[in-house]
Amino acid sequence: MNKNIFVVLITLAIIALCCRPMLCKPLDLNSKENIYSDDGYNGNLDKKTIEQLRQCDMDLETMELCMRCAKITKSTIVYPLCCANEDKIKDWCHDYVFFGAL
């Protein structure tokens, strides 16, 4: 009997140590506050490229289109240009990705 009580107490102690309340608040994706910082992008990206990439972070449809375009074209510069729609690259990517689609 004492052995069973000991096992139950040890189990409760382990559960109490593992289950702690969460101290962080959930991320609100609909908020317009600037939640992105330069720290989120690793590598040698300049400020202009980071700003271009942030535009894709805010719009998932644009992000998907630009990722598909970058993959199909195998170009490293298409993705940030498409995100910012510089020189209407986003429009070109849409036409290129969906060429022949009905």
> What residue ranges of the chain have pLDDT lower than 50?
none
51: in domain: yes
Check: CB of residue 67 under 8 Å from CB of residue 79: yes
70: in domain: yes
- Within 10 angstroms of residue 78's Cβ, the number of other Cβ atoms is 21
Domain span at residue 86 reads: 45-102
C-alpha 82/C-alpha 55 separation (Å) is 10
15: in domain: no
Tally of domains within the chain: 1
- Can you give the pTM of this predicted structure? 0.56
17: in domain: no
SS3 84: helix
Please write the tens of the pLDDT for every residue from 67-94: 999 999 999 899 999 999 989 999 999 9
Query: What pLDDT score does 56 carry?
Result: 87
C-alpha 20/C-alpha 9 separation (Å) is 18
Alpha-carbon torsion, ordered 17, 20, 23, 27, to 10 deg:
120
Nearest to 83 by CA among 52, 44, 37, 49: 52
